[in-house]
């Protein structure tokens, strides 16, 4: 199967978003990076990128602009918006959720009718802020160029609440609509799983341990329905609104793996933690989205685990695609953070990322997608300068051809002193 990489540069008001076309403190990223049949898109905000003017004030207008950027990015890559198989979208207000979903459905009806009846896998969280205070919404998307491509065929598995399929017109426009899983060849994509009871459509417990067990049950069901098993997980994104929830979740996760997928105790999925401002409902204490494989030994898309160490986190490969656990800026030996110094923390985090990729047989130049997370929005220019300096030193190809990228401000990271975290996908 092909793992060919195609890079497409992003532009703002006709200016290429790459150094030296823009200053070092500006964002530099790709519009999209294709890996074989997969298309990884940068986060799309509600600012019109054909101008440098401010985004509209209304959330519906920003959603339309963001989705139109997704559409154009897919078309520029050689596909269509109907090829979207996964969205991870971020809003700054939970109150905007119904309007976001309504506008999204109306946009799909006009521009991507296949997504109305077979919606993407999806995850949603509320964040502290986006790259600019006036941004209200950002869409991160994963697509395919051809839903019927050999070795990359897409299979849709619907989600049901109260016996109703979560697709329009089965549910109103403003209602949640997403797949339980989307399968792309050997890759399984599981939507964010929360503790909602799908029969009663209520959260029946406020106990974090019980909610964690329900979430893991849903991950297991999703993987099995797709033809795999829980033991075939390769990456999880753990979404919480309180850092204190992480320890209890990991405790439940370990016990659950022991019972249902003991091989994951020695070779767990790569994992990244996102501390959101809030989850989709106030009752939710934990949400987990995941990637897995149907067959760990599939020709051309074999899953391989690379253990972490003091210098780097764990990583898991699917064929040539490499998922790396989230990397923060703590010193790998002392565990301490350079106090107040985002540049030093970024360098430490990128050192870990580079070591993880190299341990798996790749190089830093193979990074195709990043999610950059800051605790303090005012550190954004310094973060971008430090990122560029690191690329100049360790990944020169990324200076002229930066990866697809999403930026988020989180209310907290792994530690009160943590200022920066990076999540990444690479090709080896």
Name the average pLDDT for the chain. Answer: 97
Residue 295 within a domain: no
Last residue of a domain, one of 120, 137, 157: 157
pLDDT tens-place string over residues 94-151: 999 999 999 999 999 999 999 999 999 999 999 999 999 999 999 999 999 999 999 9
The predicted model gives 37-63 an average pLDDT of 95
Domain presence at residue 217: no
Q: Which two tokens stand for residue 214?
A: 């329900």
Q: Is the pLDDT of residue 407 over 90?
A: yes
Q: Report helix, strand or coil for 400.
A: helix
Beta bridge partners of 374: 409, 420
What is the average per-residue pLDDT within 361-385? 97
Q: How many CB atoms lie within 10 A of CB 259?
A: 9
pLDDT of residue 415: 85
- Residue 417 belongs to domain spanning: 13-26+319-428
CA distances from 422 to 96, 108, 308, 410 (A): 27, 31, 16, 12
Q: Among the three residues 117, 137, 157, which one is the final residue of a domain in this structure? A: 157
pLDDT above 90 for 2: no
* Residues 291, 323 contacting (CB under 8 angstroms): yes
Q: What is the mean pLDDT of the segment spanning 357-375?
A: 98
307 assigned to some structural domain: no
Q: Are residues 17 and 93 in the same domain?
A: no
Percent of the chain with pLDDT over 90: 96
Alpha-carbon distance 399 to 394, whole Å? 10
Residue range 181-206: mean pLDDT, rounded: 97
Name the nearest CA neighbour of 359 among 327, 388, 391, 392: 327
Average pLDDT over residues 374-388: 97
Percent pLDDT > 70 in the chain is 100
Q: Is position 106 within any domain?
A: yes
Residues 78 and 17 occupy one common structural domain: no
The tens digit of pLDDT for each residue in 273-295 reads 999 999 999 999 999 999 999 99
Q: What angle do CA 195, 258, 335 make, to 5 degrees?
A: 85
Cβ atoms of residues 118 and 179 within 8 Å? yes
Averaged pLDDT for residues 55-71: 98
Closest CA to 269 of 310, 212, 318, 211: 318
End residue of a domain, out of 157, 184, 215: 157
State residue 126's pLDDT score.
96
| 377 and 350 belong to one structural domain | yes
Residue 199 placed within a domain: no
In a domain, 221, yes or no: no
Could you tell me which of 417, 389, 419, 423 has the C-alpha nearest to residue 405? Answer: 423
SS3 226: coil
Residues 53 and 148 in one domain: yes
The whole-model pTM stands at 0.96
Residue 252 to residues 15, 246, 248, 414: CA-CA distances in angstroms?
49, 10, 6, 19
Instruction: Compute CA distances 400 → 28, 31, 132, 392, 403, whole Å.
Output: 9, 13, 24, 10, 10
Check whether residue 362 and residue 343 sit in a common domain: yes
For residues 22 and 108, state if they share a domain: no
20 and 124 in a single domain? The answer is no
- The model's pLDDT over 144-170, given as tens digits with 9 standing for 90+, comes to 999 999 999 999 999 999 999 999 999
Same domain, 79 and 21: no
User: Could you give the number of structural domains in the chain?
Assistant: 2
Q: pLDDT category, 1, cuts 50, 70, 90?
A: confident
44 lies in a domain?
yes
* Domain shared by 17 and 104, yes or no: no
Do residues 86 and 110 share a domain? yes
pLDDT reading at 321 higher than 90: yes
Per-residue model confidence (pLDDT) at position 221: 98
For 14, counting Cβ atoms within 10 Å of its Cβ (0-12 exposed, 13-18 middle, 19+ buried), the class is exposed
Residue-level pLDDT at 427: 98
Round to whole Å and give the CA distance between 123 and 125. 7
Q: Judge if 20 and 74 occupy the same domain.
A: no
- The pLDDT of residue 310: 86
Q: What angle do CA 46, 47, 48 make, to 5 degrees?
A: 115
Same domain, 152 and 66: yes
Confidence tier at 51 by pLDDT (50, 70, 90): confident
CATH of the domain at 357: 3.30.1330.40
Residue 66, in any domain of the structure: yes
What is the pLDDT at residue 349?
A: 98
Confidence tier at 416 by pLDDT (50, 70, 90): confident
3-state class (DSSP) for residue 23: coil
């Amino acid at each position: 199967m092909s793992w060919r990489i195609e890079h497409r540069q992003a532009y703002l008001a006709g200016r290429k978003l790459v150094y030296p076309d823009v200053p070092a403190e500006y964002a530099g990223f790709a519009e999209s990076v294709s890996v074989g049949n997969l298309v990884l898109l940068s986060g799309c905000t509600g600012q019109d990128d054909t101008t440098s003017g401010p985004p509209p004030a209304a959330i519906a207008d920003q959603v339309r602009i963001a989705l139109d950027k997704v559409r154009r990015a897919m078309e520029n890559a050689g596909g269509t918006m109907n090829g979207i198989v996964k969205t991870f979208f971020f809003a700054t207000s939970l109150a905007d959720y119904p309007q976001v979903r309504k506008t999204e459905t109306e946009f799909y009806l006009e521009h991507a009718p296949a997504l109305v009846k077979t919606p993407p896998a999806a995850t949603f969280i509320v964040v502290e802020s986006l790259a600019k205070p006036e941004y209200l919404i950002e869409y991160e998307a994963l697509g395919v160029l051809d839903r019927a491509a050999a070795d990359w065929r897409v299979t849709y598995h619907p989600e049901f609440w109260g016996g109703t399929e979560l697709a329009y017109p089965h549910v109103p426009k403003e209602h949640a609509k997403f797949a339980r899983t989307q399968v792309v060849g050997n890759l399984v994509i599981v939507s964010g799983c929360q503790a909602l009871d799908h029969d009663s459509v209520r959260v029946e417990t406020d106990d974090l341990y019980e909610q964690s067990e329900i979430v893991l049950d849903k991950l297991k069901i999703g993987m099995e329905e797709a033809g795999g098993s829980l033991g075939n997980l390769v990456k999880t994104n753990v979404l919480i609104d309180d850092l204190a929830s992480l320890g209890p979740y990991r405790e439940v996760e370990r016990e659950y793996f022991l019972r249902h997928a003991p091989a994951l105790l020695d070779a767990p999925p790569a994992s990244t933690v996102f501390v959101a401002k809030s989850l989709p409902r106030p009752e939710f204490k934990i949400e987990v989205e995941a990637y897995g494989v149907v067959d760990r030994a599939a020709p051309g898309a074999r899953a391989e685990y690379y253990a972490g160490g003091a210098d780097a986190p764990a990583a898991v490969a699917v064929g040539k695609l490499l998922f790396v656990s989230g990397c923060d800026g703590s010193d790998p030996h002392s565990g301490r953070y350079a106090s107040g110094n985002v540049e030093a923390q970024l360098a430490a985090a990128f050192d870990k990322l580079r070591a993880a990729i190299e341990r798996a047989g790749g190089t830093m130049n193979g990074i195709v997608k990043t999610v950059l997370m800051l605790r303090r929005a005012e550190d954004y220019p310094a973060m971008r300068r430090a990122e560029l300096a690191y690329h100049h030193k360790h990944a020169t190809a990324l200076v002229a051809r930066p990866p697809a990228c999403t930026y988020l401000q989180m209310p907290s990271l792994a530690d009160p002193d943590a200022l920066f975290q990076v999540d990444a996908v690479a090709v080896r």
